[in-house]
Amino acid sequence: MSWFNRRSRGAEATPTKLDREATRDDLAALEAFVATRRGVEFYLEPETTATDTTVVAIAHDGEWIRRRTGTPRAAGTIARKHAVPLYEAARTGYPERMRTWSRAHPERHAR
């Protein structure tokens, strides 16, 4: 059936990304978070077919934000600039203080 042929050709030509790319505002939000919190650590999340490379910034008290960085290199640049540790979330997991903070502030991350 020709319908399947058209679909497979279109799938090859069409990117599978569903989400937007990282912007300057995303990077600025990470920098602002670091500048206004203490004890911040970055957790790098790899790019997927649904979203760009992201970083979860977690403060000493567990407060956190997630923003796109575009590439692991961009995340590393921000981390070095602000002397923030950068971990691979897939290897280390997330700290318990992040989950504790999220339970205490469900309104911030209810989606």
pLDDT digits (tens, 9 = 90+) for 30-83: 999 999 999 999 999 998 888 889 999 999 999 999 999 989 999 999 999 999
User: Quick check: pTM over 0.85?
Assistant: no
Locate the domains of the chain by residue range. 17-104
Count H helices, E strands: the chain? 5, 4
pLDDT of residue 15: 52
Query: From CA 43, how far away is CA 11, in angstroms rounded?
Result: 32
> How big is the CA angle at 56 (ends 54 and 62), to the nearest 5 degrees?
170
Query: From CA 109, how far away is CA 64, in angstroms rounded?
Result: 10
